[in-house]
Amino acid sequence: MTTTPDDPTTALPGRPPVVDLATWQTARDELLIREKAHTREGDALAAARRRLPMVELDGTARVAGPDGPVPFLDLFQGRDELVAYQHMWYDGAPHQGQCEGCTTTAWHLKDAVYLNARGVSFAVLTTGRWDEVASYVAFMGYTQPWYSVRDVAPPVGGEMGYLSSFLRDGDRVFLTYRTTGRGNERVNGSLGLLDMPPYGRGEAWEDNPDGWPEGRGPCWSWRSDADGNATWGPTSRPVPQWTRPGATPVESLGRRGHHH
């Protein structure tokens, strides 16, 4: 006897019904109505974002980069707008002990050429000491500009983990918007793609069909061991680090209090 994909003994648990293309297209078109509404609401939110009040900052505040201390104003590279990612930092930690969540953001925006084409500069800011930061940037192979804001007042310095946008008007600098948490997902194209296939991100909070594979904790896939197994333990690295030359198995995250 030949088993078929529709044999109830072999069908995936919780699998949506199998239909012909015309029936599928009807269901797809119904969902598209909701997707378009979602897109329009996103456009309306972006319009409101562009109308938020602004906070003036000290553009002469010094940040440390590869050429030594420079005024924050220099990060605009002569352009009128700047988007910065504020990368968390663990002092003294080895590369594998740095933030996996921040790695997802920085890794997904390794080239700002399309931002630059629209008159927007991009930089990564972090509170690490510059010598540690420079070593990490070299290991990761990042080419976008990084700066240490270790002793700079908020919101340029201070709490990290934010995407922030700034406007320059001559020598004056303004904070216009910032977001964190899931607001940072706009950079992570991998998450957007994972929302497309049927198993999604594989996280327990997602609304999945009954019988679908059981999800794991949020961000479970962001660290792995040398064999590619997802783990947050001391043998793990942020996943992209395993693609870097010289990345080796590890035994310690190099810092205390690493709890998730």
Asked if the structure places residue 24 within a domain, the reply is no
Question: Residue 90 maps to which CATH number?
Answer: 3.40.30.10
- pLDDT for residue 93 is more than 70: yes
Asked if the structure places residue 170 within a domain, the reply is yes
The domain in which residue 171 lies consists of: 55-185
Q: What percent of the chain has pLDDT over 90?
A: 90
- pLDDT for residue 260 is more than 80: no
**For the ranges 81-95, 117-131, 192-206, 243-257, which has the lowest average pLDDT?**
243-257
Which residues partner with 99 through β-bridges? none
**Residue 135: CB atoms within 10 Å:** 14
Across the chain, mean pLDDT equals 94
The pLDDT of residue 2: 45
Distances (CA, A) of 55 to 61, 137, 167, 176, 177: 15, 30, 10, 7, 9
- What tokens does 193 get? 């793609």
Number of domains in the chain: 1
d(CA 111, CA 259): 32
Asked if the structure places residue 205 within a domain, the reply is no
CA 202 from centre of chain: 17
22-33 mean pLDDT: 98
Distances (CA, A) of 201 to 54, 131, 146, 182, 195: 36, 36, 30, 14, 6
Asked if the structure places residue 77 within a domain, the reply is yes
Burial 210-219 (b: 16+ CB within 10 A, else e): eebeebeeeb
Helix axes 100-108, 130-140, angle to 10 degrees: 60
Asked if the structure places residue 27 within a domain, the reply is no
Asked if the structure places residue 91 within a domain, the reply is yes
Asked if the structure places residue 201 within a domain, the reply is no
- pLDDT for residue 8 is more than 90: no
Asked if the structure places residue 114 within a domain, the reply is yes
